[in-house]
Structure 1
Amino acid sequence: MKHRLFEQNRTILLAVSGGPDSMALLHFFVSIRDTYHLRLIALSVDHKLRGKESLEDLHYVRDICEKWNVEFIGKQVNVPQYMEETKKSTELAARELRYAFFEKMMQSYNAPILAMGHHGDDQVETMFMQLTKGIKPKGMPFKRSFANGIIIRPLLSVTKDEIHAYCRNHQIIPRLDPTNEETIYTRNAFRHHLVPFLKERNPNIHHSAQLTSEIFQEEEDYLIEEAKKVVECVATFDEKKDNVFIDIQKVLRFHPTLQRRAFHLILNYLYRHLDVVEIKAIHHDQLLKLMHSEKPNAMIHMPHNLIVLKAYDQIQFRFNKTSKAPYYYRLFPGEQILLPDGKTLSVILEKSSSKPKESGAYEFVCHAESIALPLIIRSRQNGDKLKIRGLGGSKKIKDVFIDLKIPQAEREEWPIVTDNNGQLLWLIGLKKGEVLETTSDQWLRLMVT
């Protein structure tokens, strides 16, 4: 095998949902089990998102495993409840609970290999999704560290169509999840709209994406090793290793490529207990701007209360553990900014004869001539009121938080958008304000990604 994903006489855990990809994966490992002397354990998760139907998927996997003499462990996780508690999206909540189960099983069975059914089309989707998020499109590796071992993806070199053909050839009748057809989920939208478009122009796009991914991974591995040397040279950690101090003059001796990766390593280290934090290109950009700022003293907010302070020739990374500092930013069309939770707010000027559609709670559209620029993005203030769209009246932000049961700890940093005259426009993700419409064809679109 080119990537030597596993050796003989190993225990392999397999993530099996019952769909075509995972069933092909399971069948493939069953077909080589005796040759490689493998112990196979299938893991299946019911996310409680489709009621009886999703539970039947789990039972289907259980029955197939019994037929093929494969050990089986099924688990139900309550994604809707977790979403309510954490305010996270369906995709993220399901992923976190699913991977927590996988990690627990890897540790319980001391099985350091978890096989997953991601294929070439998934690779294309992932790389373009990363690109749109401002993350370098490295895609998914054939293997990566996870829990007490590794995740492997043996099917990355084959397409979805080839997997369906494999299932037909071996009389496998997989379960089909109807939510995979709903394009309200980000990955599904890429799957149904972007990937077919790309395949029309390059039927071998999955091979190109995989080759590019591997090249990026190799280059990144090398650059990270070089960046480690930079960190050793320029960074000082305090005794508890929660605060990091950077010598700006020393950093400036190195190429910006290594500067960015050095900052990336520092952020990864500081966020080591927070797996959900995605470090994006905008994080690096903000750090480089701070370092080159002519101001002797400046500060930026990063996700999860991490504050980065510039004081003359030194940059300090530290967590604001005692209280959440108020913030206040100005933003013009064409600019973007980091919010305290790590998401990115972008402002786009559009031209349209009719009001452009908003896509969900994290987009806001209004007439450009109805507001005074620049936009202000800030934390809440006493007495804040929002004239809520469609309500016909105003409501205190405090009462909105109470009605929506937003935890007290999150309220102080929840971002509010106003115009330059103080008109409240948007309590991001929660409520949108009523804005006067004009006959202008100029519109502002605010997007949080």
Structure 2
Amino acid sequence: MLSEVIEFNNRYGLLDGCGSVIVGLSGGADSVALFHVLRELRSRYGFSIIAVHVHHGIRGEEADRDLDFCRNLCRRYGVELREFFYDIPKLAKELSLSPEEAGRKVRYDSFRSVASEYENSRIAVAHHGNDRAETVIFNMTRGTGMKGLRGIVPMRDNIIRPLLCVTKADILGYLDEIHQDYCLDSTNESNDYSRNRIRNVILPELAKINSSAVSNICSMADKMMELNDFVENYIDDMYDKCAVEDERGILLKRPDNACAYIVKGMIIKAISNLKGTLKDITDNHISEICEMFDKRNGRRIDIKYGITVEKEEKGIFFLKDSDITYNEYEVEVPSKLILPDGNFMEFKKILWNKGQKISNEVCTKFFDYDRIKDRLLVRNRRKDDYLVVNSAGNRKKLNRYFIDCKIPEHIRDSIFLLADGDHIMWVPGGRISEEYKITEDTKNVLCVECGGSEWKE
């Protein structure tokens, strides 16, 4: 078995450059075998071993027995043992987790705590081939894709699984060969949990069909791991080409000639980048978002974690959660207003001469100053905003104007408008209201110039 583990390590570099290995030691067969394998390998790879035992505060005398066993084992072989004690039932209730989830959390928290004390450390856990096959089957029953069909992987971050290449039978044979006893966990014999039923019922039945069932499932998982790595690298490349991230969220452009699987992978990456989690995000959510590429502009859907997705002309936009801040500034003339986004608006009053040429600069606009009836404001939009769109005085709601101009909904609240009360004089980058346009009767003109390093027309 040792030669298989060495070959497995060389293939995946599990122990390369490792200074210390933090080994999870429960006292069960798997962790005891891992303990001895690492002892055999430490001189070859030049690392030290620190064992960690986590007492969960359940299983009573049986758990105390496991702790004593680990103490004696480490004392016998001169390995440092770190001990952690938790009240898992209480912690599970406080964290709203199942006892299994809470137990897993504290184990890895304990491992990481010790690992943080050492440079170039790895955390070694005792998952083996049967565990990997069990995980593949478990994922299949819940619904999964390529990633789930990998099962447990040899290395994730600084967590390594040196025994993933061997089966439970190999481990028991190894312990028998070196005359090493171990502890039995009575809860593993119960079929009340899904994983235990797979372990104790389904895998033995599969072995009756093919004695190499576990090895064959693991071989398939290896192939899925290689394929998944290739596809994820491709998705990453496509995402880098098609995604634009900014402070508001992520714009995802539709890639040319990409199949639905790749597009869905890009959507998953966008959600993960935006929220840091994919928990409770289902295939139905991803499919619904994927269909947004073919919807009309302005269509929006809301999914988990407050994620809003909006169809735009250029693609689909994933909006970040944000508390919209309403800004309003009363303008004095002359003055220069610096906006929160770094842009500026400069205001001047000038005497207008008939026949004077009107500037064609897109960032400079002229208004009939004497038609301003209310306070002159620079502000974000409000509910009753409108513009006058023709010489007959017909009005158009600002929201309708935004829709007609295909202005993405997620930026509408952040646009700074020039307003006379509820009357929008100018949407910077867009039109001005007909009511304020210069005529032959105009005497005084308000000149407004926009600019700044962040100004975008």
**Same-fold call, TM cutoff 0.5:** yes
How many percent identity over aligned positions?
26
Instruction: Give the distance between the partners of 2:199 and 2:259, measured in 1 at CA.
Output: 37
Alignment match of 2:236 (pick from 223, 228, 232): 228
Q: Which whole-Å CA distance do the structure 1 matches of 2:200 and 2:132 have between them? A: 14
- 1:307: Cα distance to partner? 3.5
Paired with 2:292 and 2:198, the residues of 1 have a C-alpha distance of 34
200-209 or 31-40: which moved more? 31-40
- Is the contact between residue 134 and residue 280 of structure 1 (CA under 8 Å) also seen in structure 2? no
Partner of 1:210: 218
SS at match of 2:303: strand
Q: Which residue of 2 aligns with 1:100?
A: 109
- Evaluate the alpha carbon distance shift between residue 76 and residue 257 of structure 1 in structure 2; reply closer, same or farther with a 3 A threshold: same
Distance 1:9-1:128 versus aligned 2 partners, 3 A rule: closer
Are residue 285 (structure 1) and residue 287 (structure 2) matched? yes
Q: 1:201 aligns with which of 197, 209, 213?
A: 209
- What is the distance in 1 between the residues matched to 2:86 and 2:322? 32
1:20 aligns with 2:29: yes
Equivalent position SS for 1:108: coil
**1:297 touches 1:312 (CA, 8 Å); kept in 2?**
no
> Structure 1: where are the runs of 5+ without partners?
324-449
- Structure number with greater Rg is 2
Structure 1 residue 193 displacement after superposition? 2.2
Structure 1 residue 84, shift from structure 2 partner: 0.8
Do structure 1's residue 144 and structure 2's residue 156 form an aligned pair? yes
Cα 1:20/1:278, change in 2 over 3 Å:
farther
Which residue in the other structure is 2:60 paired with? 51
From 244, 252, 255, the equivalent of 2:250 is: 244
1:162 is aligned with what amino acid? D
Question: How far apart, in 2, do the equivalents of 1:158 and 1:282 lie?
Answer: 37
The correspondence for 1:114, drawn from 119, 123, 137, is: 123
Measure, in 2, the Cα distance between the counterparts of 1:181 and 1:75.
25
Which digits, 9 at most, give the CA deviation of each residue in 1:281-305, with x for residues without a partner? 4443343244445795231412x33
* Matched ranges for 1:41-440 at <5 A: 41-136=50-145, 137-145=149-157, 150-239=158-247, 243-247=249-253, 250-251=254-255, 253-272=257-276, 274=277, 277=279, 281-293=283-295, 297-302=299-304, 304-310=305-311, 314-320=315-321
- What is the TM-score of this pair, normalised by structure 2? 0.63
Q: Is the 8 A contact 2:19 2:119 kept in 1?
A: no
Residues of 2 paired with 1:86 and 1:318: CA distance? 29
Letter in 2 for 1:316: F
Once the 2 structures are TM-superposed, how far is the Cα of residue 36 of structure 1 from its aligned partner?
3.3
C-alpha distance 16-305 of structure 1, shift in aligned 2 (>3 A): farther
- How many Å apart are 1:55 and its aligned residue? 3.2
The alpha-carbon deviation at position 38 of structure 1 amounts to 2.6
Q: Secondary structure at the match of 1:183?
A: coil
Q: How far apart in 2 are the matches of 1:125 and 1:291?
A: 38
**Aligned-partner Cα distance in 2 for 1:257–1:224:** 11
Number of residue pairs matched?
A: 312
Aligned Cα RMSD in Å?
Answer: 2.5
Q: Does 1:3 align with 2:9?
A: no
Over residues 359-410 of structure 1, what are the superposed CA-to-partner deviations in whole Å (9 max), with x where a residue is unaligned? Answer: xxxxxxxxxxxxxxxxxxxxxxxxxxxxxxxxxxxxxxxxxxxxxxxxxxxx
Amino acid of the structure 1 residue aligned with 2:108: Y
Q: 1:19, CA displacement in angstroms?
A: 0.6
User: After superposition, what is the alpha-carbon deviation per residue over 1:410-443, rounded to whole angstroms, capped at 9, x for unaligned?
Assistant: xxxxxxxxxxxxxxxxxxxxxxxxxxxxxxxxxx
Give the 4+ runs in structure 1 shifted more than 6 A.
none
Change (3 A) 1:190 1:287: farther
Instruction: Find the aligned partners of 2:221 and 2:280 in 1 and give their Cα distance.
Output: 18
Shift, 1:103, TM fit: 1.7
Kindly provide the CA deviation profile for residues 321-346 of structure 1, in whole angstroms up to 9, marking residues without a partner as x: 669xxxxxxxxxxxxxxxxxxxxxxx
Answer whether contact 1:157 1:206 (CA < 8 A) is retained.
no
Change in Cα spacing, 1:60 to 1:321, as seen in structure 2 (3 Å) is farther
Is 2:189–2:196's contact at 8 Å kept on the other side of the alignment?
A: yes
Structure 2: gaps spanning 5 or more residues: 1-6, 325-457
Structure 2 contact 53–83 (Cα < 8 Å) conserved: yes
Partners of 1:8 and 1:234 lie apart in 2 by 37
Tell which deviates more after alignment, 70-79 or 107-116: 107-116
- Cross-structure match for 1:36: 45
1:17–1:45 Cα contact (<8 Å) kept: yes
Counterpart contact for 1:227–1:258, Cα < 8 Å: yes
Q: 1:201 to 1:98 in 2, by over 3 A?
A: same
Instruction: Determine if contact 1:62/1:72 at 8 Å carries over to the other structure.
Output: yes
Task: Determine helix, strand or coil for the equivalent of 2:218.
Answer: helix
> Would you say the 8 A contact 2:249–2:318 is kept in 1?
yes
Is residue 244–residue 250 contact of structure 2 (8 Å, CA) maintained in 1? yes
Distance change (3 Å), C-alpha of 1:113 and 1:55: same
CA distance in 2 between counterparts of 1:281 and 1:133 reads: 12
Q: Distance in 2 between matches of 1:316 and 1:14?
A: 45
Tell me if the contact between 1:183 and 1:192 (Cα under 8 Å) persists in the aligned partners: yes
SS in 2 for 1:184: coil
2:285·2:303 contact (CA, 8 Å) conserved in 1? no
Return the offset for 1:265: 1.9
In structure 2, relative to structure 1, the CA distance for the partners of 1:85 and 1:265 (3 Å cut) is same
